[in-house]
Structure 1
Amino acid sequence: MGGARPVLVALLAALAMTAPAKAQVLAFEELDGWAEDDHRAALRTFLNTCDQLEDAAWQPLCSLARDAAASPESARAYFELFFRPVLIGDPPALFTGYYEPELDGSPSQTARFRVPIYARPPELQDGSVYYSRADIEAGALRGRGLEIAWLEDPVDAFFLQIQGSGRIRMPNGHVMRVGYGGKNGHPYRSVGQELVRQGTYSADQVSAQTIRGWVKQNPGPGNALLDHNPSYVFFRRLPDLPADRGPIGAMGRSIVDMRSIAVDPSYHTLGAPVWIEKDGREPMRRLMVAQDTGGAIKGAQRADIYFGTGDRAGDAAGTVKDGGRMVVLLPIDLAFAQTLDG
C-alpha cells in the first residue's frame, strides 16, 4: 500500500528477496525500548484480527488476549509470557509509510472533476494481466459505467491507487469511503526510480511530495512518468465503514494508525505482532501488528507503517525511508520451529 517508492526502496527490496531468511530467537530485554511502549494499545490492535489466525498455536492465545487488555501491565505480561521475539532475515530493515488520503470529488463527471476512478471490471480474473495503466488512462474502460467517482487531478488519482484506500468528499458534503478492489496484474514500477534514472533527482531527494510537485509542474512529461508504472488499482465503495474506523487492510478489517503495518506475507504471518525499531530523523520503538500487504513491500526486513488519515498523515508518511530492524512475536512453539526451519 505505501507512497511512491524511490530507487533506494526498490534496490533494497530486491536484495531482501534474494537473501535467505535466517531466524533467531531473542529475549524481550534485547528489544530497544520494549518496556516503554503502550502494550495495551498494541494488544487491542492485535485483537481486531486475532480470530483470523487459524493455526492451532495461535487459537488459545487469542482466547486469553481479551482479558489481558485490562491494563498496560497485563498486556505486557501477556506478550512476554506467551510469545518470543524472532528476528527473521538480516537488518537493516527498510521502513516506509502510507496513509488514507482525503480528496475532493464528484459522483459524476463535471468540468472540474474529470479524472475517474474505476470499479473492478467483472471480466478481470485474479492473476490475469489486463489493460495497462496507459491503456486505461487512454479510455479502455470509458463508457462502461465502472466509474465510482471523479477526481480533479490525475496525480491525486495515482496516489490514491498507491495508498489503496481513501475518503472522497462530494460537493454535497457526503464522504465516500473507497477501498482496494483489485489490480490489473501488471508489476509495480517505481516512478521515483524512473526520475532518478532520468537524472531529475538523486535517490535521497525523491519522496511522494517531490514526485507530486514535479508531475504538477510538468503535466505532459508528468503524465508519461505516471504511465511508467503499468500497475493499476481498482476500487470498491465501503458504505458501511464508520468514519472513526481506519481503512480496510489485507485481513478484511480496519487498520489502526501507528499500530498497523504492511508486511511481506511470504515471510510474516498476517495478524502477528511485530516489534519495530525504526531509526532516522524521527525514531520509533513500537509494537505493531502485521495487518496489511503492499505491492512494493517485499522481504523479511521490510514494512510500511500506516500513519492515519488526511494531509498531515500523508506529509509524515511520504518522507519515511528509514533503516532499523523488525522483530516478529510468535507463540513459543512456533518461534523455535521457525529457527529450526531457518
Structure 2
Amino acid sequence: MSEELLEEFPEELLEKLPNKFGKEFKEELVEKLPVVFLDEFPDELLMNSRKKCEKKFPEKLVEKLVEELPKLLLKKLVKEFPEELILFCTLNSHKVDMSNLLGGQIGLNDFIFAHKKGRPKEVEIVKSEDALGLTITDNGAGYAFIKRIKSGSVIDRIQHIQVGDHIEKLDGVNVVGKRHYEVARMLKDIPTGSTFTIRLVEPMKSGFQGIAPRKGGAKQSKPGGYGSGKETLRFKANGNAAIEDEHDDATQCGIDAINTLLDSFMGINDTELATQIWDLGSNKTNSMDFAEAIDASDLEAFGFTDDFIIELWGAITDARQGRHRR
C-alpha cells in the first residue's frame, strides 16, 4: 500500500522531508494517510497541538500538507470521475446543499459526494439595485458558488439562477481560481444601473434529488444530524491544523452571528473566516484591542470599516454573555 500511495502523494512534498528520516519514515508517513484520506489524518501532524508535530516535521511541510489535503481528496475522486467533470463535493448529503460544501473542514467519519458539472448558462442581468442579493461561497479549489439567494432580490427574480450554480465568468472575465470574496467584490464593484453577463455552470441533476428523510418514526435523541458528537479536522486560514471538539453553544452562536454580518457586508458566507475573526476576539477585553488584532492580521486586506468592526465586536460580546443563544 505504501508504494501505491507514494506514487499518488505529491513528490515535491516528500522531497522536503528531512533525509535523516529516510525511506522507512516516508513509507510510514504515507501509510498513515488513509486510502481515501478520510479515516484519520496522521497523528503526528494533528494530535496534541502543533508542538508535537513540529518535533518531527518542518513547519513549512506541515502547512503544505494542510494546504494540499482538499486537492488530494479531489485527486482520489478523479479515479471515479474525470477531474474536469467534478463541479464540487458535499459532505454527508447527496443534495445540492451549499452548507455542506467540502472545503477546509472535514469530520473524521464524513462521506463525500461528488457532484458533476451540468449545463453551462449565460444570463444577462441589469443591476437595478446596489445589492444583487447573492451570498457566495467557494470550495477552496478555485470554484465560487451561489450559496444563498435573498428573497425578493434582483437575482431572486431571475428563474435561471439557482443555489449551487458555479460562477465561471463575469462579463467574459474568467473567475475560476478566485476566492469567493474576490468574486463578491467584483459583483459589488459593478455600477448600479449597468448591464452585465454572468456565465454559470449548474450541477447535474440526478434522480437522488427527490430523496428526503421519512417523516415520523423514532425521535432522535439529539438534533443536528451529522456532526453531533464528532471531532472535526479544522484548517485555519493561517495554515495551522488541529482536531477540535465541537464548538460550545456560545462559540457557535458567535461564529454564526459573525457569518451573518459577513453576508451583509460582503455577500459571502465563510465559516473559516468567521472562526478566525472569533478567535482574534476571543481573548480581547475591548473593541480597540480587537481592531488592532484585525489590523495586525491578514484580515486587514478586507478593508473592514470601523463601524463594521464595532458590529463584529458586538456579536462577539453578545455571544459571550449568552444573548445569542438558541
TM range (shorter): under 0.3
TM-score relative to the length of structure 1: 0.26
Query: Larger radius of gyration, structure 1 or 2?
Result: 2
- State the structure with bigger RCO (CA 8 A, min sep 6), 1 or 2: 1
The structure in which a higher percent of residues are helix is 2
The structure in which a higher percent of residues are strand is 1
TM-score relative to the length of structure 2: 0.27
